[in-house]
Structure 1
Amino acid sequence: MQQDRYGNTLSTSSAAAATAYDVGVDHILAATEGAQAAFAEAIAADEGFALAHVGAARAAMYAGDMGAIKPLMARATALADGVSEREKAHIAMFDLLFAGKPVEARAAVEAHVLDHPRDAMVAQVCTNIFGLIGFSGEPGREAALLAYTGALLPHYGDDWWMGSMHALSLTEVGQTGAALEMMEASLARNNANANGSHFKAHALYEEGRTAEGRAYLDDWMDGYAPEAVLHGHLSWHQALWALQDGDWDAMWGHYRRDIAPEASHALPINVLTDGAALLWRAEMAGAAVEAEDWRKLSAYATQYFPNPTQSFADMHAALAHAMAGEGAALAKLTEASKGYAAELVQPVARAWGAVARGDWAGAVQDLTPVMADHARLGGSKAQRDLLELTWLLCLMRSGAKQEARRAAATRRPLFAKAAPVQGFAA
């Protein structure tokens, strides 16, 4: 028997398979390119190594190769009789995840880590703002994520991955100083960790350190593979900072090269949400966005998210449809009944329709019930600034400029003095 680098026993006698498995796991945890090749190497070294097949399925998901998942998991399940109880539970949890059962998968993760807290591949499923807690749609999900990573942290010592995960949890509840300290320590141990650089960018964004953040990411991204899962999203962060600096050439360069549907290698949810958010934030800041860009995003949303199911994606799909003038597609989302926060998607979709018509007062009316707890829609604070800034714009254009300033000061002090919304600083 072999062990992984976290001390978990692996049901393989092949040292080469275990080594390749560790490499694949680290690629998953660091969001770097190479996981598929590493798990393929592990399988080649020991075809009967069940967790290598699970890892390959997870890597296929991140690569957007959804057709590869089912046969890989079928092989892992067929091998489950010869593995440990931990590995059986590991396989069973991923079966739930890939079967589209997030509630059951989350329960399985939370039960599993009580006995096996260092099973990082399982633990990872509930970390991050895009994990099963982050996309639960539950009130207080940010506190729940902090509690989850906080409980795991003592089991990982100075591990670079868990340090970066807990640092993000701290950032999302406003503890950016502690987050940055932990993130720097994590990156010192593994500077290739794209999740670490990503979460450092979030903390710098929350502190309003635009110049520093922009310089940091511009440097770190040099050498990060465009095919890697976070490349498009990190480019979105770069583009946002360029927008806030008024550097339109750089912003559009990032969009055309790395974020637009025809250019990005990211997962569909990131392509849609990053693209729609950037285009609308650029319009709010005074940029002219080509109608064709909105049409392409609307078509992309129709292709990958044709029916309401994923509330964070649905919110952005509704924006793309509204701006592209696709009324039928938008109407489907204003009546959304599926998704973890469908009751919030509906008024947001109506608000986008009102914005597209120039009905600012109507948009304010629709957004009002959403603003109290839009964290339930998912995404980070930086991503949900799409709603905060739209709220300011709609208040201003409906004649409530002082209310807009009070809203910025009380809801999002980051923008109290200088929000990237045309006319806000005048």
Structure 2
Amino acid sequence: MAVDRAARPTILIVGGGVAGTLVTVHLARLAARRSTGVDIVVLEPSDLLGRGVAFGTPEDRHLLNVPASGMTALPEEPGHFVAWRAEDDPDRPSLPYDFTSRREFSRYVRELLSESLATAGGQVSLRHVQQQALRVRRSGAGAEVSTARRTYRADAVVVATGLPAAGWDWAPETLRSSPFFVPDPWAPGALDVIRRDRSGPAPVLVVGAGLTMVDVALSLTGEGRDDRALHVVSRSGRLPRTHARSPKLATIPDVSDWDTGIEELRKRVHRHFSEVVRSSGDWRPALDGLRVQVQNLWSRMSDADRLAFLREDAGYWNVLRHRMPLASSDKLNQLRAQGRLHLHSGATVAGAQPLSRGGLRVTMTDGSTHEVGWVVNCTGPRTDIRELGNPLLDDLLKPVHGVAAATVSTGGMGLRTVNGRLIDSAGSPEAPIWTLGALRRGELWETTAVPEIRVQARELATTLLDTLAPLPRRLADGRIVSGHHPIARPRDLLGLPLSTTAESAASFNAGLERVMRLQAGAEDLLREAVEHDPDFALAHAALAMLGHEAGAHADVRASLAEAQRAITVRGDDRERSFVDVIERRVNDVRNSGAQALIAHIAAYPRDALAVSAAVPTIAFSGVTDLQQEAWALVEGLAPAYGDHWWYISLLAFTRQEQSRFEEAALLAESALACEPSSGHAVHAQTHVNYETGQHEEGRVWLDHWVTETGRSAGYRAHFAWHAALHELALGDLDAVRRRYETHLAPPAVTGVRALIDSASLLWRWRLVDDRDLPPAGPVLEAIGEGLLKTPQTPFIALYAAIALTAADDVAGLAQLRQHALGSSEASMHTLVVAACEALTAVVERRWADAAPILEDLYPRLDHIAGSAAQREVFHDTLIHCLRQDGHDVLADELLAARPARRPC
């Protein structure tokens, strides 16, 4: 079908560095998915897009200060850059924790842009104009951007000018006027001149000790004059800290109750660092976790407190936050050991006199002097955009007919916006002008690195297309109308319409968010929703679902009946389908209920409640016992969710089940950076830690999450079970006992959780050391006879067999076996029966009889016995039987063949 070019919006992007290019990438990708035509114009004086100041260096020795795992351009694919590097050069190892060159990253961004445009085909056009924008004016509903040559008309403008140029106000006039002063080391050829110079003194004075200095030092000492020494002067004398030798998990604090007055904030930050260092031995996880919450904290601070932070704390924050790779640190240490790098603190440049042979004699404020060939400014970008002399920014801040198009945020560090859209001097955000990245520093603080910019770029692309070319909408009466039509109904968190009042929708969405986060209390909020609107069928059905699928405190039958009544009063096709699904699930969960749920998700893939019930997780049993089908279900939802943190969390768990542990960890980290309370992401990361043998780090990290951002998490018993597995692996049985008594002993847990977590832990504990174990009887009472003797699914039945074994209940195992024999499900009368027979032999200490059955059974449990960590209880039991029967060699072989998860 031909694209109607007359209806295509034009978006003009000022700046073609990484920020502007990533906006273009995401516009192209999103427009292609929506089949929306769009024309993009990028004003960028450079001949190549995707470089800018930060990535324009031609030197491969200038490295990224973030590992490759953190540099993907696509938030929904955290491993994309790592995979690109592997494909780009198959003979070169490409590891997530590599620190690659900035030049290579720039090439990656350009190739991704070309690929995205090619995929979009004729629906997206890109025009790169090598001119500098000088002026922006509103023009009707759009805007006009002028260069020295012409004016360009656009429906929307994105200002993506990047970090401001370096400032050199500190330099005395005698230095500024010298030809041997380099005010901007990133100006084309600036460092080449110094490298070629052979006339003046060899030493170079570098002012500033941050990451720019690191690059300059590597450039000026990497070749040529071996006698060149660098004198680095800064107020603090602190070099950037280094990254750890191996990746560390961020420890994210819960800041919901932090007072953001500067004095109290300093105390809370200090306490956070102290706790993390005490538990993990490293400050980096504390800093990286705090970074996740910085924008939240910054948004709650007053301007006065922000300015106080900038004066007194920002320097030290930057030293810790902007770390250098170990390779760069090692090189600097080598230079210092050779006497070629000298660090000076306190003094500043007071004056400079030319030397007869070239170079300068520089006098410092402490009276010392240095004879140097050059002075290089590495003090970093100016902080106040009003002092840059940038014609475009000056124009935005200049009143036209009494109103300036933009206003500055804290300290002049950027522009005030509403989610990136500029606020004019009259307080209005209506002009079609947006920004991202460095120009939002005043309102976000942390906004200049790729991890922040890529998210802003995708959100901005979505906002632009939603504003200029919105998708069609469905009204309450079912009509499909233009995307510009007013929205007739409230929406849920994924944008689906809700047939209820705004007040009821707010309570429903709060409950839905708790379900998505795996937090407790969702059913209470859903009750609030139906109290506000008794005819809200979807909320009634959601209550029935939580009661039936997740064991929440709800009257399933009564809620279902109310949902069936209310849907006759009000509701659209999706809501009617959902009510029907829940009715089928309640009456026939394994057959027609599962089929109806899958069909509903196929029609409404963004129905997060339905997807929650379909995917096997801590909370829900899912619609299939086959891992591959569950994986296919999750992976097939990618187009519907993109980089939404909830979907990324579910995908992370799927990836760890597929033993793709590095990818799973990247996905979990990405999700937690967006939503630190995501229980699904924490669950995925917890499995990664266990399966890769990171027991001490995994226990410490999980404990911190549960006590901080996970304080309101549901299913805390399951997270306690995970921590106890780490402690069993470490041989810390005292810690296992404390955790069991605190979190896993009845009455703290009952029902399914007592079965899956508490009982299985007791049996695993017994396999390690059977002395002075807590009694299993109270756990079996808390589980209940129904789950133990007449379970309805093979998964529950297998763990019922483990629980009965922990209590040495041979009679119970026999009764469970008879129940399984009578089931119509093949897995019940084959695998569950075999498990009962093997475990009966274990209780009766008939090791030789138990081992062959378990050896045959264990490989067949992949599709019905839960995660690898859960299934491991059967493997441990097999190894125990072999050892008890004297087959130590065979037991050792089985351990050696098992993935290296833990020392045994």
TM-score by length of 1: 0.90
Correspondence for 1:386: 873
**Does structure 2 retain, via aligned residues, the 8 Å contact 1:134–1:142?**
no
Report how far residue 58 of structure 1 moved. Answer: 3.0
Report the CA distance between 1:394 and its aligned residue.
1.3
Q: What's 1:316 paired with?
A: 799
Shift of 1:368: 2.7
Between 333-342 and 47-56, report the one with greater CA deviation: 333-342
Deviations 1:224-251 (A, max 9, x none): 7788531111010111111111222211
Partner of 1:271: 754
* Corresponding residue of 1:288: 771
How far did 1:328 drift?
Answer: 2.2
1:221 positional shift: 0.7
CA deviation profile, 1:250-303 (whole Å, cap 9, x unmatched): 111111111123222x6x21211211211111111124254x622223334443
Which of residues 120, 126, 131 in structure 1 aligns to 2:608? 120
**For the pair shown, which has the larger CA radius of gyration, 1 or 2?**
2
Q: Deviations over 1:292-332 (max 9, x none)?
A: 62222333444341314222222222233234233321101
Question: Which AA in structure 2 matches 1:361?
Answer: A
Query: 1:275, 1:333 → 2: CA distance?
Result: 19
Q: 1:9 to 1:49 in 2, by over 3 A?
A: same
1:259 aligned residue: 744
Q: Which stretch shows the higher mean deviation, 238-247 or 398-407?
A: 398-407
Contact 1:206 / 1:382 at 8 angstroms: preserved in 2?
A: yes
Q: Does 1:398 align with 2:869?
A: no
Q: Figure out how many residues of one structure are paired with residues of the other and give that number.
A: 410
1:371 paired residue among 858, 864, 869: 858
Give the aligned partner of residue 218 of structure 1. Answer: 703
1:191-202 counterparts in 2 under 5 A? 191-202=676-687
Q: CA deviation at 1:145?
A: 1.7
> Aligned equivalents of 2:609 and 2:654: distance in 1?
18
In the alignment, is the contact (CA less than 8 A) between 2:760 and 2:803 conserved in 1?
Answer: no
Please give the alpha-carbon distance, in whole angstroms, between the structure 2 residues aligned to 1:320 and 1:46: 44
In structure 2, give the amino acid aligned to 1:414: A
Tell whether the 8 Å contact from 1:142 to 1:169 is kept in structure 2 after alignment: no
Residue 88 of structure 1: aligned partner? 576
Alignment of 1:28 onto 2:515: yes
The residue type paired with residue 664 of structure 2 is A
Q: Which residue of 1 aligns with 2:716?
A: 231
Paired position in structure 2 for 1:136: 624
Indicate the residue corresponding to 1:330 in structure 2.
813
Q: Over aligned residue pairs, what C-alpha RMSD do you find?
A: 2.2
The amino acid that maps onto 2:497 is: T
1:341 aligns with one of 803, 818, 827: 827
* Matched residue type, 2:700: A
Using the TM superposition, give the Cα deviation of residue 334 of structure 1 relative to its aligned residue in structure 2, in angstroms: 2.4
Equivalences for residues 23-62 of structure 1 within 5 A: 23-61=510-548
The alpha-carbon deviation at position 212 of structure 1 amounts to 1.4
CA distance in 2 between partners of 1:371 and 1:135 (Å): 22
Q: 2:37 — aligned with what?
A: none
Amino acid corresponding to residue 605 of structure 2 in structure 1? P
Q: Which stretches in structure 2 are left out of the alignment for 5+ residues?
A: 1-488
Deviates more, 1:393-402 or 1:163-172: 393-402
Shift of residue 131, structure 1, vs aligned partner: 7.8
- In structure 2, what is the equivalent of residue 184 of structure 1? 669
**386-395 vs 219-228, which moves further:** 219-228
Deviations 1:132-175 (A, max 9, x none): 885734xxx22222211111022112211111111111110111
- Checking the alignment, whether the CA contact within 8 Å between 2:838 and 2:853 is kept in structure 1 is yes
Q: Answer yes or no: is 1:104 the counterpart of 2:623.
A: no
Q: Distance in 1 between matches of 2:720 and 2:826?
A: 28
Match of 1:423 in 2: none
Contact 2:851–2:882 (Cα < 8 Å) also in 1 = yes
Q: In the alignment, what sits opposite 1:3?
A: 491
Q: Secondary structure at the match of 2:862?
A: helix
Residue of structure 1 equivalent to 2:386: none
Is 1:414 the counterpart of 2:900? The answer is yes
Query: Do the aligned partners of 2:586 and 2:593 also contact (CA within 8 Å) in 1?
Result: no
Q: Which amino acid in the other structure matches residue 76 of structure 1?
A: A
Between the two proteins, what is the percent identity of the paired residues? 28
More helix by percentage: 1
In 1: Cα distance, 2:752 partner to 2:844 partner: 26
SS of the residue corresponding to residue 668 of structure 2 reads helix
Give secondary structure in 2 for the equivalent of 1:98. Answer: helix
Partner Cα separation in structure 2 for residue 209 and residue 122 of structure 1: 34
Looking at structure 1, the residues matched to 691 and 845 of structure 2 have their Cα atoms a distance apart, in angstroms, of 30
Structure 1: distance between partners of 2:760 and 2:580: 36
Q: For the residues of structure 2 that align with 1:188 and 1:67, how far apart are their CA atoms?
A: 33
1:95-124 CA-partner distances (Å, limit 9, x unpaired): 122224222222122212222110111111
SS at structure 2 position matched to 1:377: coil
* Letter paired with 1:256: E
AA matched with 1:347: A
Gaps of 5+ in 1: 420-426
Tell whether 2:652 aligns with 1:206: no
AA aligned to 1:213 is: G
Structure 1 CA distance for aligned equivalents of residues 673 and 718 of structure 2: 22
Change (3 A) 1:308 1:146: closer
Alignment partner of 1:173 is 2:658 = yes
Counterpart of 2:693, as a letter, is: G
Q: Write out per-residue CA displacement over residues 370-406 of structure 1, whole angstroms, 9 at most, x where no aligned residue.
A: 1221123331110000011111111222222222222
The residue aligned with 2:640 is 155
Distance 2:585 2:884 in 1: 44
Q: CA deviation at 1:56?
A: 2.2
Q: Deviations over 1:34-70 (max 9, x none)?
A: 2122112211221111111122223444774566111
Is the CA contact 1:194–1:230 (under 8 Å) kept in the aligned structure 2?
no
Check conservation: 2:546, 2:554, Cα contact below 8 A: no
Q: Which moved more, 1:185-194 or 1:54-63?
A: 54-63
Distance 2:620 2:724 in 1: 27
Deviates more, 1:159-168 or 1:122-131: 122-131
Q: Secondary structure at the match of 2:519?
A: coil
What does residue range 6-17 of structure 1 map to in structure 2 within 5 Å?
6-12=494-500, 14-17=501-504
Secondary structure at the residue paired with 1:174?
coil
Could you say if the C-alpha distance between residues 65 and 179 of structure 1 is closer, same or farther in structure 2, counting changes exceeding 3 Å?
closer
State the distance in 2 between where 1:381 and 1:226 align. 26
Do the aligned partners of residues 36 and 323 (structure 1) sit closer, same or farther apart at CA in structure 2, a change above 3 Å counting?
Answer: closer
Q: 1:73 pairs with 560, 566, 583, which one?
A: 560
SS of 1:83's equivalent in the other structure is: coil
Aligned twin of 2:165: none
